[in-house]
Every structure is written in structure tokens, then in C-alpha cells.
């Protein structure tokens, strides 16, 4: 677990507002640590598909956005792969994972909070830095301003945790609505689109 303030500003701003998905890896130990009040940094990989090549103006705008982001963001790896059909950006880094009592100022972070006596909710949230950073990016390019909500693929390694409840999403590529999975070892859940474009991604885990 890495303790640091690394946010997703650059990730969300570089590809017309929304990622294809942001895969974040969460373990049972991460969940227990966040519930206990620690700030846990969980790994993420974000990918973006761009249908056309960047023109000179867009390249310059991205450089300006990166300069803004450097004041707030650290990522482990950034790559741009070009093809005949456009380009794909892949970014790796870490994302804050905290309890609702602790919170975070990061523009994007994961929050765990009690939902029922048996379940806790993990949700994508926006911290107080989001509005200021969005405004700074808007001054460069309104079209590249980042969305508050992003599609999240939860890559869960839970070592037999009692339950994962998926309100709506895709589990291992199969659609799921209010579906429960018990004694979970490893599970991949994609949550995004529809109402989640407004609310942010949400899943439930057993206590």
C-alpha cells in the first residue's frame, strides 16, 4: 500500500472527458485498512481511445493541461500508442481509497462507508479540488474538461470475503443487476454509463 496524494486529473482530462474505463485493484487488506481510517493508495490503469490524430492545437492544449496537473498529480507511467484509426492513451498510477469519515480533497477518490449492518458501499467520489482543477482546464479547453463520474472496473482480490453485491454493472463481462456473489476470491466488476454517469460507480462488499 502506498500512502501519497496521487489523483486522476491528468487521466480524466486527456481524452475528451471520459475514459474507456479506469481499472482499480482492491484487496481485502485495502478494504480493512480504509475502514480503519487509513488512507490507502490503490493502483489504477486508465485507457482512452481517440478516434482521430491530434492536431497541433490539441497537442498544445494537452501540454498546458499536463502543466496544470503536475501541481496536483503524480502517475507512474504514461504511454501513447498510435494506429491507423487514431490513438490510445494508457496511464498507470494510484488513487486514494478512504472511509467516509476520513474523506479526501482529491478530485477523484474511492470511498467506503457503512450501507447496512452487513454491507459497506464502495463509491467513486469527487473531492474539493475537483472544481478548481476543472476551472483551470476550462480556461485551456472547455472540450477537454474532465467529467466528475468515470467508468470504474473494480478488480477485486478478496480472499474469500463473504459477499460482493453489484447493483448494476458487468461482472467478468456478463451483465448483472442486484446480483450477489459469495465467498469471493477474485472478481472483476465494470460499473459505468447510464445513471452512473451522474452518480459515479458503486458496489457493495460484505462486512
In a domain, 60, yes or no: yes
Residue 15 is predicted with a pLDDT of 45
Residue 4 placed within a domain: no
Residues 6+ apart with CB under 8 A from 91: 10, 11, 14, 45, 46, 47, 75, 77, 78, 79
Structural domains counted in the chain: 1
Domain-embedded: residue 3? no
Q: How many residues does the chain have?
A: 207
Does residue 63 have a pLDDT over 90?
Answer: no
Backbone angles phi, psi at 9, to 5 degrees: -55, -55
3-state secondary structure of 9: helix
Would residue 1 count as lying in a domain? no
Q: Which residues have C-beta within 8 Å of that of residue 67, sequence separation ≥ 6?
A: none
For residue 199, the SS3 value is helix
Containing structural domain, residue 56: 9-206
Looking at the predicted structure, is the pLDDT value of residue 112 above 70? yes
In-domain check, residue 88: yes
Asked, for residue 75, whether it belongs to a domain, the answer is: yes
The pLDDT tens digits of the residues spanning 141-194 come to 776 667 888 899 999 999 888 899 999 999 999 999 999 999 889 999 999 988
Q: Considering the domain boundaries, does residue 76 fall inside one?
A: yes
Q: What's the alpha-carbon Rg for the chain, to the nearest Å?
A: 17
Global pTM?
A: 0.84
Residue 163 in domain:
yes
Amino acid at each position: 500500500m502506498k500512502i501519497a496524494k496521487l489523483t486522476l486529473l491528468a487521466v480524466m482530462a486527456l481524452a475528451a472527458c471520459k475514459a474507456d474505463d479506469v481499472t482499480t485493484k482492491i484487496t481485502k487488506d485495502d478494504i480493512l485498512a480504509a475502514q480503519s481510517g487509513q488512507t490507502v493508495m490503490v493502483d489504477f490503469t486508465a485507457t482512452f481511445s481517440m478516434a482521430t490524430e491530434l492536431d497541433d492545437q490539441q497537442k498544445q492544449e494537452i501540454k498546458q493541461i499536463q502543466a496544470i496537473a503536475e501541481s496536483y498529480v503524480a502517475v507512474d507511467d504514461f504511454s501513447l500508442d498510435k494506429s491507423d484509426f487514431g490513438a490510445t492513451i494508457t496511464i498507470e498510477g494510484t488513487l486514494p481509497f478512504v472511509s467516509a469519515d476520513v474523506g479526501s480533497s482529491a478530485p477523484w477518490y474511492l470511498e467506503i462507508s457503512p450501507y447496512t449492518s452487513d454491507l459497506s458501499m464502495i463509491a467513486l467520489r469527487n473531492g474539493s479540488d475537483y472544481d478548481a482543477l476543472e476551472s483551470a482546464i476550462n480556461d485551456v479547453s472547455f472540450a477537454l474538461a474532465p467529467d466528475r463520474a468515470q467508468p470504474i472496473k473494480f478488480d477485486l482480490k478478496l480472499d474469500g470475503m463473504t459477499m460482493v453485491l453489484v447493483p448494476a454493472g458487468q461482472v467478468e463481462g456478463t451483465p448483472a443487476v442486484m446480483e450477489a456473489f459469495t465467498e469471493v476470491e477474485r472478481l472483476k466488476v465494470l460499473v459505468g454509463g447510464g445513471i452512473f454517469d451522474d452518480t459515479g460507480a458503486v458496489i457493495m462488499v460484505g462486512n
